[in-house]
Amino acid sequence: MKIKKPRGTRDFLPEEMEKRREIEKKMREIAELYGYREVQTPTFEHLELFTLKSGEAIVEEIYAFKDKSGRDLALRPELTAPVMRMFANECSVMPRPLRFYYFSNCFRYERPQKGRYREFWQFGVELIGSPSYLADAEVIMLAYDIMENLNLDFELHIGHVGLLRRLLKGVDADKASKIMRLIDKKDVEGLEDCLSTIGLKDMEDKIYALIDLVGGREVIEEARELVPDFDFDYIDKLCDCLDSVGVDYKLDFGIARGLDYYTGVVFEAYAEGLGAQNQICGGGSYRLAHLFGVDVPSTGFALGFDRIAEICELGLGRKKLAVIVSFKGLENEAFKIARIVRQSGMQVVVDVMQRSLKKQLSYANDIKADFAIIVGEEELKENKIAIKDLKSGEQKIVEMKGMIDFLRSLD
Ligand code: HAM
């Protein structure tokens, strides 16, 4: 019987895993250079953690289930809420700010398509405890550094949910949240329908004008005209800071973000070559911990790891691979030699199929090995070994004690 993998999930073969691990390593290195330290939270949480802020409607979009004791649980759809829960439970008295990063799988019950999966990975950070624009500046710089270091072709957009929220002041919370989601999804028809039912023409026109505002710092002036009672000082200072360190971005006051907890600066990065699902990073400042009893300003982002892996062309530094080929009866010798070679840091594969020398060599070529180390009776008697360079086809018999040096010289 053939069993397929569940819809929206993927298998990763070694080549892909090697690439993913390489990308992950780069992301970790850079986050650690900024002083972030890794955390991990459970794969499933109490469902309440995700409905507290977003309401019951979110249940449609997540993997929610009852366990055998009837508890309502959910596979995490993201990590900000879990990390803030952890913060409130375990770290609320630690010196602030706290700098956490994570790399974990998330689950969303979405309609799968290219770049959109039901199980996907996020690499993210949360900077907890600072209300300053400097905290937003830092996480934006970090996201930018990671994307640049991976040689991605991306555009970074920065906005502030406070402007749209200001325009929606007076609209009831559910409706305002629905409007923000429609803006986030760029669902123009849905937005028109929803706004027309509210019937505030002036607000409607301003919302359309605001979400079209994308550009350099000059768009702040236009935004000021649309939302005159908003204090743009924070955005100005953030832009000064990012400009001074050479982060390249566009201001975009149409960023609404799909999650409800954002309160201030928000940002997203879009990449070439991904089609419709081109958002590779999303983040911003938010308030969430107060739901768990500790009120603290935070900011962070998550990179869509799978989308990045799809477009990232890292040069993979592949290690050299040797294959030990042995005549019948010398299998134990082969394992012994393999241990010696591995101690030098070289990858070694030993034949475990007990097949002919010819077949072993052909397999070595199939798996793209660099050398074959041939264990033969005659050579062993003289403490020697035959080494074949599989690229050039050249073969040489060397002293056993000089084997590692010789292999290194072939690099
Ligand atoms: P998000 O924008 O929902 O934000 O997700 C972050 C990134 O995860 C997206 O930009 C996208 O690249 C990737 N992503 C989301 N859904 C899928 C999917 N179904 N398949 C593949 N990739 C996907 C958050 O989750 C926030 N927690 C980010 C944050 C951290 N804000 C503050 N701190």
Q: At what angle do helices 188-198 and 201-211 cross, to 10 degrees?
A: 150
| 2 within a domain of the structure (yes/no) | no
Pairwise CA distance, residues 252 & 43, whole Å? 34
Give the residue whose CA is nearest to atom 27 of ligand 1. 80
Question: Could you read off the pLDDT of 140-176 as tens digits, one per residue?
Answer: 999 999 999 999 999 999 999 999 999 999 888 888 8
Name the residue with higher pLDDT: 319 or 12.
12
Whole-number Å distance, alpha carbon 382 to ligand 1 midpoint, is 62
Verify cis geometry, omega within 30 degrees of 0, for the bond prior to 97: yes
> Which atom, in ligand 1's list, is nearest to the CA of 77?
25
Evaluate if residue 305 carries a pLDDT over 90: yes
Measured in residues, the chain has a length of 411
| 8 within a domain of the structure (yes/no) | no
| 242 within a domain of the structure (yes/no) | yes
pLDDT at res. 58: 86
Whole-number Å distance, alpha carbon 189 to ligand 1 midpoint, is 24
Evaluate if residue 177 carries a pLDDT over 90: no
Which one of 100, 307, 308 would you pick to mutate in the ligand 1 pocket, going by the greatest count of ligand atoms within 8 A of its CB?
307
Question: Could you read off the pLDDT of 205-225 as tens digits, one per residue?
Answer: 999 999 999 999 999 999 999
Pairwise CA distance, residues 147 & 269, whole Å? 9
Evaluate if residue 196 carries a pLDDT over 90: no
Which two three-digit tokens encode residue 95?
A: 């010196």
Which two three-digit tokens encode residue 155?
A: 């555009």
pLDDT at res. 411: 67
Instruction: Note down the domain range covering 370.
Output: 321-409
User: In terms of Cα–Cα distance, which of 280, 314, 264 is closest to 134?
Assistant: 264
> Which of the residue ranges 59-63, 183-187, 315-319, 386-390 would you say has the lowest mean pLDDT?
315-319
Whole-number Å distance, alpha carbon 122 to ligand 1 midpoint, is 7
Residues 201 and 232 in one domain: yes
* % of residues, the chain, pLDDT over 70: 100
> Residue 135's domain is classified under what CATH number?
3.30.930.10
Evaluate if residue 367 carries a pLDDT over 70: yes
Residues 288 and 370 in one domain: no
Which one of 79, 259, 261, 299 would you pick to mutate in the ligand 1 pocket, going by the greatest count of ligand atoms within 8 A of its CB?
259
Residues 303 and 357 in one domain: no
pLDDT at res. 398: 96
Whole-number Å distance, alpha carbon 401 to ligand 1 midpoint, is 54
> Which of the residue ranges 2-16, 308-322, 341-355 would you say has the lowest mean pLDDT?
308-322
Question: Could you read off the pLDDT of 231-271 as tens digits, one per residue?
Answer: 999 999 999 999 999 999 999 999 999 888 999 999 999 99
Residues 291 and 177 in one domain: yes
Residues 326 and 241 in one domain: no
Is residue 334 classed exposed, middle or buried when 0-12, 13-18 and 19+ CB atoms within 10 A define those classes? buried
Q: What is the DSSP letter of 69?
A: T
Last residue of a domain, one of 282, 311, 340: 311
When pLDDT is averaged across residues 2-9 and rounded to a whole number, the result is 98
| 26 within a domain of the structure (yes/no) | yes
Q: What is the DSSP letter of 68?
A: T
- Pocket residues: Cβ below 6 A from ligand 1: 78-80, 108, 110, 116-117, 120, 122, 124, 126, 258-259, 279-284, 286, 300-302, 304, 306-307
Pairwise CA distance, residues 50 & 59, whole Å? 8
Last residue of a domain, one of 270, 289, 311: 311
Residues 293 and 359 in one domain: no
Give one DSSP letter per residue of 249-312, joined into a string.
-EEETT---SSTTEEEEEEEEEETTSTT--EEEEEEEE--GGGGT----EEEEEEEHHHHHHH-
The answer to whether the CB of 80 falls within 8 A of the CB of 260 is no
Last residue of a domain, one of 256, 282, 311: 311
- Antiparallel, parallel or unpaired: β 371-375 and 384-389: antiparallel
Evaluate if residue 50 carries a pLDDT over 90: yes
Evaluate if residue 318 carries a pLDDT over 80: no
Residues 165 and 147 in one domain: yes
Pairwise CA distance, residues 154 & 206, whole Å? 29
Q: How many CB atoms lie within 10 A of CB 287?
A: 17
> Which of the residue ranges 22-31, 189-198, 244-253, 391-400 would you say has the lowest mean pLDDT?
189-198
Residues with Cβ within 8 Å of residue 259, at least 6 apart in sequence: 54, 78, 80
Number of domains in the chain: 2
Whole-number Å distance, alpha carbon 287 to ligand 1 midpoint, is 17
Whole-number Å distance, alpha carbon 318 to ligand 1 midpoint, is 30
Residues 242 and 266 in one domain: yes
> Which atom, in ligand 1's list, is nearest to the CA of 257?
2
pLDDT at res. 54: 78
Residues 208 and 265 in one domain: yes
Evaluate if residue 127 carries a pLDDT over 90: yes
When pLDDT is averaged across residues 335-349 and rounded to a whole number, the result is 95
pLDDT at res. 11: 98
Distance of CA 27 to the CA centre of its chain: 8
| 5 within a domain of the structure (yes/no) | no
Evaluate if residue 130 carries a pLDDT over 90: yes
| 221 within a domain of the structure (yes/no) | yes
Residues 283 and 145 in one domain: yes
Q: At what angle do helices 233-244 and 219-226 cross, to 10 degrees?
A: 170
Pairwise CA distance, residues 139 & 118, whole Å? 27
Torsion of CA 194, 197, 203, 206, to 10 degrees: 40
In whole numbers, what is the pLDDT of the chain averaged over residues? 94
Q: How many CB atoms lie within 10 A of CB 257?
A: 20
164-168: Cβ within 8 A, 24+ apart: 164/207, 164/210, 164/211, 164/253, 164/256, 166/227, 166/229, 166/230, 167/203, 167/206, 167/207, 167/210, 167/226, 167/227, 168/203, 168/207
DSSP bridge pairs for 72:
66
| 284 within a domain of the structure (yes/no) | yes
Question: Could you read off the pLDDT of 84-123 as tens digits, one per residue?
Answer: 999 999 999 999 999 999 999 999 999 999 999 999 999 9
Whole-structure pTM value = 0.94
User: In terms of Cα–Cα distance, which of 319, 298, 269 is closest to 84?
Assistant: 298
Residues 273 and 389 in one domain: no
> Residue 333's domain is classified under what CATH number?
3.40.50.800
When pLDDT is averaged across residues 49-73 and rounded to a whole number, the result is 92
DSSP bridge pairs for 45:
74
Place of tokens 């405890």: 129
pLDDT at res. 198: 82
| 224 within a domain of the structure (yes/no) | yes
User: In terms of Cα–Cα distance, which of 176, 122, 150 is closest to 300?
Assistant: 122
Residues 328 and 293 in one domain: no
Give the residue whose CA is nearest to atom 16 of ligand 1. 116
pLDDT at res. 226: 94
